[in-house]
Amino acid sequence: MMKTYEIDITHRNKNRNVLLIKKSRGILVKKEYFEKFSELVGREFVKLQEPMKEYTTFKIGGAADYYICPHTSEEVAKIVALCKKEKLPYYIMGNGSNLLIGDKGYRGVIIHIYNNFNAISIEGNKIYIQAGALLSKIAKVAAKNNLAGFEFASGIPGTIGGAAVMNAGAYGGEMKDVLFSVTVLNENGEIITIPSAELELGYRTSIIAKKGYIVLEAVIELKAGEQSEIEAVMQELKEKRTEKQPLEYGSAGSTFKRPEGYFAGKLIMDSDLRGFSIGDAQVSEKHCGFVINKDQATAAEVVALMEYVATTVYEKFQVKLEPEIKMLGEF
Protein backbone atom coordinates (compact mmCIF):
# COMPACT_ATOMS: atom_id res chain seq x y z
CA MET A 1 0.00 0.00 0.00
CA MET A 2 1.33 3.44 -0.93
CA LYS A 3 2.28 5.71 1.94
CA THR A 4 2.32 9.48 1.90
CA TYR A 5 4.20 11.85 4.11
CA GLU A 6 3.48 15.56 4.42
CA ILE A 7 6.33 17.87 5.27
CA ASP A 8 6.90 21.60 5.40
CA ILE A 9 9.58 21.90 2.72
CA THR A 10 10.69 25.30 4.02
CA HIS A 11 11.68 23.85 7.38
CA ARG A 12 13.66 20.79 6.40
CA ASN A 13 16.95 19.63 7.82
CA LYS A 14 19.56 22.38 7.50
CA ASN A 15 22.11 19.77 6.45
CA ARG A 16 20.30 19.25 3.12
CA ASN A 17 22.90 21.35 1.31
CA VAL A 18 25.44 18.54 1.62
CA LEU A 19 23.59 16.99 -1.32
CA LEU A 20 24.23 19.92 -3.63
CA ILE A 21 27.16 19.93 -6.05
CA LYS A 22 27.00 23.69 -6.38
CA LYS A 23 24.98 26.45 -4.71
CA SER A 24 25.54 29.35 -7.06
CA ARG A 25 25.15 32.96 -5.95
CA GLY A 26 22.80 35.25 -7.80
CA ILE A 27 24.04 37.10 -10.88
CA LEU A 28 22.36 39.69 -13.02
CA VAL A 29 21.32 38.81 -16.55
CA LYS A 30 23.07 41.42 -18.63
CA LYS A 31 22.56 42.28 -22.28
CA GLU A 32 26.33 42.56 -22.78
CA TYR A 33 26.81 38.92 -21.79
CA PHE A 34 23.96 37.84 -24.06
CA GLU A 35 25.61 39.66 -26.96
CA LYS A 36 29.02 38.14 -26.22
CA PHE A 37 27.64 34.61 -26.06
CA SER A 38 25.65 35.25 -29.24
CA GLU A 39 28.82 36.29 -31.05
CA LEU A 40 30.40 32.97 -30.10
CA VAL A 41 27.63 30.52 -31.04
CA GLY A 42 24.90 32.47 -32.84
CA ARG A 43 21.98 34.36 -31.33
CA GLU A 44 19.51 31.51 -31.89
CA PHE A 45 21.61 29.24 -29.67
CA VAL A 46 21.54 31.53 -26.62
CA LYS A 47 18.42 31.77 -24.44
CA LEU A 48 17.67 33.75 -21.29
CA GLN A 49 15.68 32.44 -18.32
CA GLU A 50 15.19 29.06 -20.00
CA PRO A 51 13.08 26.53 -17.99
CA MET A 52 15.38 23.60 -17.27
CA LYS A 53 12.66 21.05 -16.63
CA GLU A 54 12.49 20.72 -20.41
CA TYR A 55 16.04 19.35 -20.51
CA THR A 56 16.19 16.79 -17.69
CA THR A 57 14.77 13.28 -17.55
CA PHE A 58 13.31 14.16 -14.12
CA LYS A 59 11.21 16.88 -15.84
CA ILE A 60 11.95 19.16 -12.89
CA GLY A 61 13.82 22.45 -12.61
CA GLY A 62 13.50 26.22 -12.66
CA ALA A 63 15.01 28.62 -15.17
CA ALA A 64 18.69 29.13 -15.93
CA ASP A 65 19.89 32.70 -16.40
CA TYR A 66 21.74 31.77 -19.59
CA TYR A 67 21.30 28.64 -21.69
CA ILE A 68 23.81 28.05 -24.52
CA CYS A 69 24.14 25.30 -27.14
CA PRO A 70 27.65 25.15 -28.65
CA HIS A 71 28.55 23.26 -31.85
CA THR A 72 32.31 22.76 -31.58
CA SER A 73 35.08 22.17 -29.08
CA GLU A 74 36.44 25.62 -29.83
CA GLU A 75 33.08 27.21 -28.99
CA VAL A 76 32.96 25.36 -25.69
CA ALA A 77 36.48 26.57 -24.84
CA LYS A 78 35.56 30.18 -25.67
CA ILE A 79 32.35 30.09 -23.66
CA VAL A 80 34.13 28.68 -20.62
CA ALA A 81 36.92 31.25 -20.99
CA LEU A 82 34.36 34.07 -21.06
CA CYS A 83 32.55 32.69 -18.01
CA LYS A 84 35.81 32.52 -16.09
CA LYS A 85 36.82 36.02 -17.17
CA GLU A 86 33.47 37.51 -16.14
CA LYS A 87 33.22 35.28 -13.03
CA LEU A 88 29.95 33.77 -14.21
CA PRO A 89 29.03 30.40 -12.65
CA TYR A 90 28.63 27.74 -15.33
CA TYR A 91 27.64 24.11 -15.62
CA ILE A 92 28.22 21.60 -18.41
CA MET A 93 25.07 19.62 -19.13
CA GLY A 94 24.44 16.59 -21.32
CA ASN A 95 21.15 14.72 -21.53
CA GLY A 96 20.22 15.71 -17.97
CA SER A 97 19.63 12.06 -17.11
CA ASN A 98 21.45 12.13 -13.77
CA LEU A 99 20.54 15.65 -12.70
CA LEU A 100 18.09 17.39 -10.38
CA ILE A 101 17.86 21.14 -10.87
CA GLY A 102 16.40 23.29 -8.10
CA ASP A 103 12.93 24.81 -8.34
CA LYS A 104 14.40 28.31 -8.28
CA GLY A 105 16.67 27.47 -11.21
CA TYR A 106 20.33 28.17 -11.80
CA ARG A 107 21.92 31.58 -11.42
CA GLY A 108 24.54 31.15 -14.07
CA VAL A 109 25.29 29.69 -17.50
CA ILE A 110 24.13 26.26 -18.62
CA ILE A 111 26.37 25.00 -21.45
CA HIS A 112 24.34 22.26 -23.11
CA ILE A 113 26.57 19.79 -24.92
CA TYR A 114 23.92 17.73 -26.64
CA ASN A 115 22.01 17.90 -29.95
CA ASN A 116 24.36 20.34 -31.66
CA PHE A 117 27.42 18.38 -30.57
CA ASN A 118 26.76 14.72 -31.37
CA ALA A 119 28.63 13.67 -34.52
CA ILE A 120 29.67 10.00 -34.83
CA SER A 121 32.18 8.49 -37.27
CA ILE A 122 33.81 5.09 -37.64
CA GLU A 123 37.31 4.00 -38.60
CA GLY A 124 37.88 0.26 -38.41
CA ASN A 125 36.82 -0.95 -34.99
CA LYS A 126 37.02 2.52 -33.43
CA ILE A 127 34.12 4.94 -33.13
CA TYR A 128 34.87 8.68 -32.84
CA ILE A 129 32.16 10.54 -30.98
CA GLN A 130 31.38 14.12 -29.99
CA ALA A 131 30.47 14.42 -26.32
CA GLY A 132 26.76 15.13 -26.83
CA ALA A 133 25.93 11.88 -28.64
CA LEU A 134 23.46 9.64 -26.82
CA LEU A 135 24.67 6.20 -25.76
CA SER A 136 21.59 4.63 -27.35
CA LYS A 137 22.43 6.20 -30.71
CA ILE A 138 26.06 5.07 -30.48
CA ALA A 139 24.93 1.52 -29.71
CA LYS A 140 22.70 1.47 -32.79
CA VAL A 141 25.51 2.79 -35.00
CA ALA A 142 27.87 0.15 -33.59
CA ALA A 143 25.36 -2.64 -34.26
CA LYS A 144 24.77 -1.53 -37.85
CA ASN A 145 28.51 -1.63 -38.42
CA ASN A 146 28.89 -5.10 -36.87
CA LEU A 147 30.81 -3.80 -33.83
CA ALA A 148 30.16 -5.56 -30.54
CA GLY A 149 30.90 -4.64 -26.94
CA PHE A 150 28.73 -1.57 -26.45
CA GLU A 151 25.44 -3.38 -25.93
CA PHE A 152 25.49 -2.78 -22.17
CA ALA A 153 25.16 0.98 -22.76
CA SER A 154 22.29 0.81 -25.24
CA GLY A 155 19.65 1.56 -22.61
CA ILE A 156 21.52 4.07 -20.48
CA PRO A 157 19.77 7.44 -21.03
CA GLY A 158 22.88 9.60 -21.15
CA THR A 159 25.54 11.03 -23.43
CA ILE A 160 29.04 9.71 -24.05
CA GLY A 161 30.43 12.78 -22.30
CA GLY A 162 28.60 12.12 -19.05
CA ALA A 163 29.26 8.39 -19.33
CA ALA A 164 33.01 8.98 -19.59
CA VAL A 165 33.00 11.30 -16.59
CA MET A 166 31.29 8.81 -14.30
CA ASN A 167 32.42 5.56 -15.93
CA ALA A 168 28.79 4.63 -16.53
CA GLY A 169 27.89 0.98 -16.59
CA ALA A 170 25.06 -1.54 -16.63
CA TYR A 171 24.51 -5.28 -16.89
CA GLY A 172 28.14 -6.20 -16.31
CA GLY A 173 29.69 -3.65 -18.65
CA GLU A 174 31.37 -0.30 -17.99
CA MET A 175 32.81 2.49 -20.06
CA LYS A 176 36.29 1.49 -18.96
CA ASP A 177 35.82 -1.72 -20.98
CA VAL A 178 35.50 0.18 -24.26
CA LEU A 179 37.04 3.65 -23.92
CA PHE A 180 40.17 4.15 -26.00
CA SER A 181 40.72 7.84 -25.30
CA VAL A 182 38.88 11.00 -24.27
CA THR A 183 39.52 14.56 -25.43
CA VAL A 184 38.83 17.17 -22.76
CA LEU A 185 39.08 20.85 -21.96
CA ASN A 186 41.29 21.12 -18.88
CA GLU A 187 41.34 23.71 -16.11
CA ASN A 188 43.82 25.85 -18.07
CA GLY A 189 41.58 26.06 -21.12
CA GLU A 190 43.71 23.59 -23.09
CA ILE A 191 42.23 20.84 -25.26
CA ILE A 192 44.08 17.61 -24.50
CA THR A 193 43.57 13.92 -25.27
CA ILE A 194 43.87 11.37 -22.46
CA PRO A 195 44.38 7.66 -23.23
CA SER A 196 42.17 5.18 -21.43
CA ALA A 197 44.97 3.90 -19.22
CA GLU A 198 45.34 7.37 -17.68
CA LEU A 199 41.65 8.04 -17.05
CA GLU A 200 41.62 6.40 -13.57
CA LEU A 201 38.22 4.88 -14.24
CA GLY A 202 36.54 3.46 -11.15
CA TYR A 203 33.05 3.02 -9.74
CA ARG A 204 31.20 6.15 -10.89
CA THR A 205 34.40 8.17 -11.07
CA SER A 206 37.37 9.11 -13.26
CA ILE A 207 40.22 11.59 -13.45
CA ILE A 208 37.84 13.70 -15.54
CA ALA A 209 35.47 14.03 -12.58
CA LYS A 210 38.27 14.50 -10.06
CA LYS A 211 39.87 17.36 -12.00
CA GLY A 212 36.72 18.94 -13.36
CA TYR A 213 37.65 18.44 -16.99
CA ILE A 214 35.02 18.97 -19.71
CA VAL A 215 34.59 16.07 -22.13
CA LEU A 216 34.59 17.16 -25.78
CA GLU A 217 35.10 13.92 -27.67
CA ALA A 218 35.60 10.22 -26.98
CA VAL A 219 36.91 7.26 -28.90
CA ILE A 220 35.67 3.77 -28.11
CA GLU A 221 37.26 0.57 -29.38
CA LEU A 222 35.00 -2.41 -30.04
CA LYS A 223 35.36 -5.86 -31.52
CA ALA A 224 33.92 -7.48 -34.63
CA GLY A 225 30.50 -9.06 -34.29
CA GLU A 226 27.30 -9.91 -36.15
CA GLN A 227 24.58 -7.27 -36.34
CA SER A 228 21.75 -9.71 -35.64
CA GLU A 229 23.46 -11.09 -32.53
CA ILE A 230 24.35 -7.63 -31.25
CA GLU A 231 20.79 -6.39 -31.73
CA ALA A 232 19.42 -9.50 -30.01
CA VAL A 233 21.49 -8.72 -26.92
CA MET A 234 20.35 -5.11 -27.00
CA GLN A 235 16.71 -6.18 -27.23
CA GLU A 236 17.15 -8.59 -24.31
CA LEU A 237 18.65 -5.82 -22.15
CA LYS A 238 15.85 -3.46 -23.19
CA GLU A 239 13.25 -5.96 -22.04
CA LYS A 240 15.01 -6.42 -18.70
CA ARG A 241 15.20 -2.67 -18.20
CA THR A 242 11.53 -2.19 -19.10
CA GLU A 243 10.49 -4.99 -16.77
CA LYS A 244 12.52 -3.83 -13.76
CA GLN A 245 12.74 -0.03 -14.04
CA PRO A 246 10.02 2.66 -13.88
CA LEU A 247 10.74 4.02 -17.34
CA GLU A 248 7.20 5.37 -17.66
CA TYR A 249 7.96 8.09 -15.09
CA GLY A 250 10.44 10.92 -14.93
CA SER A 251 13.51 10.09 -12.86
CA ALA A 252 17.26 10.46 -12.80
CA GLY A 253 18.01 6.76 -12.76
CA SER A 254 19.45 5.16 -9.64
CA THR A 255 18.96 7.70 -6.88
CA PHE A 256 21.67 6.48 -4.52
CA LYS A 257 25.12 5.00 -5.01
CA ARG A 258 25.56 1.32 -4.24
CA PRO A 259 26.88 1.03 -0.66
CA GLU A 260 29.76 -1.38 -0.31
CA GLY A 261 28.38 -4.82 0.40
CA TYR A 262 24.75 -3.79 -0.13
CA PHE A 263 22.20 -2.77 -2.75
CA ALA A 264 20.50 0.56 -2.18
CA GLY A 265 17.18 -0.60 -3.63
CA LYS A 266 16.97 -3.61 -1.32
CA LEU A 267 17.86 -1.54 1.76
CA ILE A 268 15.09 0.90 0.85
CA MET A 269 12.60 -1.91 0.21
CA ASP A 270 13.52 -3.63 3.47
CA SER A 271 12.94 -0.32 5.24
CA ASP A 272 9.29 -0.59 4.14
CA LEU A 273 9.56 2.46 1.88
CA ARG A 274 8.26 1.02 -1.38
CA GLY A 275 5.77 3.54 -2.79
CA PHE A 276 6.50 6.08 -0.06
CA SER A 277 5.73 9.63 -1.26
CA ILE A 278 6.32 13.25 -0.40
CA GLY A 279 4.06 15.23 -2.69
CA ASP A 280 4.51 13.87 -6.20
CA ALA A 281 7.99 12.51 -5.46
CA GLN A 282 7.79 8.78 -4.83
CA VAL A 283 9.98 5.78 -4.13
CA SER A 284 9.17 3.65 -7.16
CA GLU A 285 6.97 0.65 -6.49
CA LYS A 286 8.65 -1.18 -9.37
CA HIS A 287 12.25 -0.55 -8.25
CA CYS A 288 12.96 0.99 -4.84
CA GLY A 289 16.32 2.30 -6.02
CA PHE A 290 14.50 4.95 -8.08
CA VAL A 291 12.83 8.13 -6.88
CA ILE A 292 10.29 9.10 -9.53
CA ASN A 293 8.29 12.15 -10.53
CA LYS A 294 4.72 10.84 -10.49
CA ASP A 295 3.30 13.98 -12.07
CA GLN A 296 4.29 17.47 -10.92
CA ALA A 297 6.96 16.79 -8.30
CA THR A 298 9.17 19.66 -7.21
CA ALA A 299 12.89 19.48 -6.61
CA ALA A 300 12.25 20.30 -2.95
CA GLU A 301 9.96 17.28 -2.65
CA VAL A 302 12.56 15.01 -4.26
CA VAL A 303 15.29 16.23 -1.90
CA ALA A 304 13.02 15.86 1.13
CA LEU A 305 12.17 12.31 0.08
CA MET A 306 15.83 11.44 -0.45
CA GLU A 307 16.69 12.76 2.99
CA TYR A 308 13.85 10.83 4.59
CA VAL A 309 14.87 7.61 2.83
CA ALA A 310 18.54 8.01 3.77
CA THR A 311 17.66 8.72 7.40
CA THR A 312 15.27 5.78 7.63
CA VAL A 313 17.74 3.34 6.08
CA TYR A 314 20.51 4.50 8.41
CA GLU A 315 18.32 4.17 11.51
CA LYS A 316 17.33 0.64 10.50
CA PHE A 317 20.59 -0.73 9.07
CA GLN A 318 23.34 1.77 10.02
CA VAL A 319 24.23 2.07 6.34
CA LYS A 320 24.73 5.53 4.83
CA LEU A 321 23.18 6.13 1.44
CA GLU A 322 24.95 8.70 -0.72
CA PRO A 323 23.16 10.35 -3.64
CA GLU A 324 24.16 9.27 -7.11
CA ILE A 325 22.02 12.07 -8.57
CA LYS A 326 23.81 15.37 -9.10
CA MET A 327 22.03 18.45 -7.79
CA LEU A 328 22.36 21.91 -9.18
CA GLY A 329 21.03 25.38 -8.52
CA GLU A 330 18.79 26.98 -5.95
CA PHE A 331 16.39 24.74 -4.05
Active site members:
204, 254, 324
What gap in Å lies between CA 301 and CA 297, rounded to an integer? 6
Give the three-class secondary structure for 133. Answer: coil
Give the three-class secondary structure for 178. Answer: coil
- What is the dihedral angle through the alpha carbons of 180, 119, 61, 33, rounded to the nearest 10 degrees? 110
Concatenate the DSSP letters of all residues of 227-279 into one string: HHHHHHHHHHHHHHHHHHS-TTSEE-S-SB---TTS-HHHHHHHTT-TT-EET
Pairing, β 179-185 against β 214-221: antiparallel
- Helix ranges restricted to H, the chain: 31-41, 73-86, 135-144, 160-166, 207-211, 227-244, 264-270, 299-317
Q: For the sheet containing 120-123, what is the strand order?
A: 120-123, 126-130, 214-221, 179-185, 191-195
- Helix ranges restricted to H, 45-109: 73-86
What gap in Å lies between CA 197 and CA 202, rounded to an integer? 12
